Structure 1
Amino acid sequence: MSSRSSIWQWTALAGVSLPLALALKWAAFPAAMLLGPMLAAVAFGLRGAGVRVPGWGFQAAQAVVGCQVGTAVTASILATALEAWWAMLLVVGATVAFGALVAAALERWRLLPSNTAAWGFSPGGAAAMTALASEYGADVRLVAFTQYLRLFVVVLTASGVSRLLLGAAPSSFQPAPLLDFGFAAPDGALLAALGVIGGGCWLGRRLRVPAGAMLLPMTAAAALHVTGAAHLSLPPWLLAVAYAGLGWSIGLRFTPDSVRHALRAIPALLGATAALIGLCALSSWFLNAALGVDPLTAYLATSPGGLDSVAVIAVGSRADVPFVLAVQTLRLFAVVLAGPLVARLVCRAASPKGGGDSCP
């Protein structure tokens, strides 16, 4: 693709994304600056747009969101989360089991090969699951499409549920001005935040930590904030750029080729995704009943989406962000570590004599 064509496509994509994001923000949707670009990118991707968010751009966006989330952590909130570790473990275990159950059902009804279904419905870590699937004999194109279709549906659903629950909130809630981008000269707090973002992003790549570009800045920012060692501040314009980067990265993966490859499976994938969301919603009911966690926080904590996208929605709503991220982070590591074992169990249970696609 020529540089002129690339510049034109990025300009057009940004020109569509901004008004769509502002319309969603005017309607008080959480994470409007993520949803608008994501919806615009899906439309551009399906029309054959050749631009893609580079890997470093996606990781930088994750690092910004991670730093923002880390600044919301306080010592009292951390203590509350540690007290509820047993409930978090139960919820995470149930979510992994739900993903395996949905994958087994898809194979039993001959809607997807067992190995591909198992990797496609591992709830979380879409990029990691796609990369691992290629090493275990699954159909990588179908796994990638399944993962990002699930992520797309989950983000839309979570944002819609958050909007409904926010609608029932006290009238004291006031949405931010539509064009409040807060441009200002860099100060010490911003420079400290940029240092955390850059250092965490670099270290995550070097250590190959799953979602390290987000988790390491989030951990560092939380530690600095809780101990009072440094004050971090992120301007609205930087957050808006990061949210747009995440939305574009998700949406542009929906290309005509990927959709054609999975066309016959789309109804089954949508149904399975709805089933997984419903099963995970049962876990949110458990958190609400056992710990007294508010419904919005419980729903986002158990939502089977990506860590970064759920973080953006949680920050844009009235949820308990550290609790949501604690559960989501624990699930991410559980899914990455247990993914090969779950895929093997689902595949062997579905094809005890070695039938179907190759088992890991």
Structure 2
Amino acid sequence: MLADQIPASPALRWLLLLSACALASLVLQLVHMPAGALIGPMAVSVVFGVTIGGLKLPRVLFKGGQGVIGLLIAQAMTLTVLSTIADSWPAMVLATVVTLVLSTVVGILLVRYGGLPGTTAAWGTTPGAAAAMVAMSEQANADPRIVATMQYVRVICVIMAGALVSHFLGVSGESHAPSHAMTWNLHGLLSFAVSIALIVVGIFICDRLLPAGALLGPMLLGTVAQVSGVIDIQLPLPLLEAAYACIGIYVGLRFDRQTVRNVTHAFKWMFLASIMLIAFCALSALMLVPLMHSDFLTLYLATSPGGLDSMTIIALDTHADVAIVAALQALRLFTVVLIGPAMARFIARFARTPSNQA
């Protein structure tokens, strides 16, 4: 087997994985693939985890990557942007409700015909932050391994679909924006140090208090600092690419041979459910364009059932409206955390009984 031909040393395996991730990221960015620095490491890590395995990215690095993305979102938040979001709140609530209804319909179809336990399938189709949904599903006595697989299969499908939609719409994936250039003077270095401090403090305070707190904490603190004009947030491009890679590698390495064995019988249904939900959300985004006076790409990313972090990365690389994407994704996240258990119980009621399956 391939795994037997790879050096057993974890250090050598990490060297092989990181080298392959860097190469994949470089190639995708050279062809202007949106979020190439995220997709490349993620795709490589999926293949590595399934064929070779033996590695797991420390969760602290994943949280650190989320914190960087949270501060990156805050960098886009200005008083004008926040005012626009406040004026659009009825349409945002409608968009959130539509996405949750569509995910409920897909969840019902999956538990009815996909052959998965009702509660497990219900949590797996709930469109919130994947890590938060896995943790909540475990508390609800669902199988966290299957829930994690369902969540991350959908995340990968959403990220790939988002990047392809952006690419075919003719949007450039160029990410070397001037705002990510480091200012090498005393003011720039001080701003960079404060930016890192906001990430660390935001993660420390909010990680256990909020769902996806590692992302939302720095985002909230950074928004306050940005709007008040306290600092000029400094996030150099190498730091952003490292954050993208950490998120991609963490998601990719969640897939291993044992996980694939556990869900092989239902994997096609998971994939089909993900594609159905993505298509439904794309239709809802199209209908929301005249209501929110925004472009289709922005609303597609905002309603897509992926993570707040990954959708923001694609929005940044495609020059979509980051504020609207972040606001809608965050609103849905909080809503799902509040009503997730009730949604899961409702979806589980439609599971087929053994007598119906006979």
- TM-score normalised by the chain length of structure 2: 0.91
**Aligned pair partner of 2:81 in 70, 77, 80:** 77
Shift of 1:204: 1.6
Structure 1 unpaired stretches of 5+: none
* Distance change (3 Å), C-alpha of 1:174 and 1:238: closer
- The number of equivalent residue pairs is 344
* Distance change (3 Å), C-alpha of 1:175 and 1:137: closer
| 1:257 is the counterpart of 2:261 | no
* Distance change (3 Å), C-alpha of 1:105 and 1:235: same
| 1:149 is the counterpart of 2:150 | no
Shift of 1:129: 1.1
In the aligned structure 2, how far is the partner of 1:282 from the partner of 1:252?
32
Of 184-193 and 36-45, more deviation after overlay is shown by: 184-193
Alignment map for 1:118-197 (pairs within 5 Å): 118-167=122-171, 176=176, 187-197=189-199
* Distance change (3 Å), C-alpha of 1:174 and 1:316: closer
In the aligned structure 2, how far is the partner of 1:310 from the partner of 1:137?
29
| 1:240 is the counterpart of 2:244 | no
SS at match of 1:233: coil
* Distance change (3 Å), C-alpha of 1:39 and 1:308: same
| 1:199 is the counterpart of 2:214 | no
In the aligned structure 1, how far is the partner of 2:215 from the partner of 2:175?
26
In the aligned structure 1, how far is the partner of 2:155 from the partner of 2:202?
25
Alignment map for 1:190-339 (pairs within 5 Å): 190-205=192-207, 207-339=208-340
1:153-185 Cα distance to aligned partner (Å, 9 max, x none): 111111111112234x7xxx96649xx996968
In the aligned structure 2, how far is the partner of 1:335 from the partner of 1:329?
10
Shift of 1:257: 0.5
* Distance change (3 Å), C-alpha of 1:297 and 1:8: same
**Contact 1:182–1:237 (CA<8 Å) still a contact in 2?**
no
The residue identity in structure 2 corresponding to 1:155 is: I
- TM-score normalised by the chain length of structure 1: 0.90
**Contact 2:175–2:317 (CA<8 Å) still a contact in 1?**
no
**Contact 1:103–1:114 (CA<8 Å) still a contact in 2?**
no
- How much identity, in percent, do the aligned residues show? 37
SS at match of 2:233: coil
In the aligned structure 2, how far is the partner of 1:293 from the partner of 1:110?
36
Superposed CA RMSD in Å reads: 2.1
In the aligned structure 2, how far is the partner of 1:183 from the partner of 1:33?
23
Hey, what does 1:93 align to over in structure 2?
A: 97
Of 138-147 and 273-282, more deviation after overlay is shown by: 138-147
SS at match of 1:187: helix
Of 247-256 and 111-120, more deviation after overlay is shown by: 111-120
SS at match of 1:96: helix
* Distance change (3 Å), C-alpha of 1:240 and 1:95: same
Hey, what does 1:57 align to over in structure 2?
A: 61
**Contact 1:181–1:237 (CA<8 Å) still a contact in 2?**
no
In the aligned structure 1, how far is the partner of 2:338 from the partner of 2:212?
13
Hey, what does 2:45 align to over in structure 1?
A: 41
Hey, what does 2:113 align to over in structure 1?
A: 109
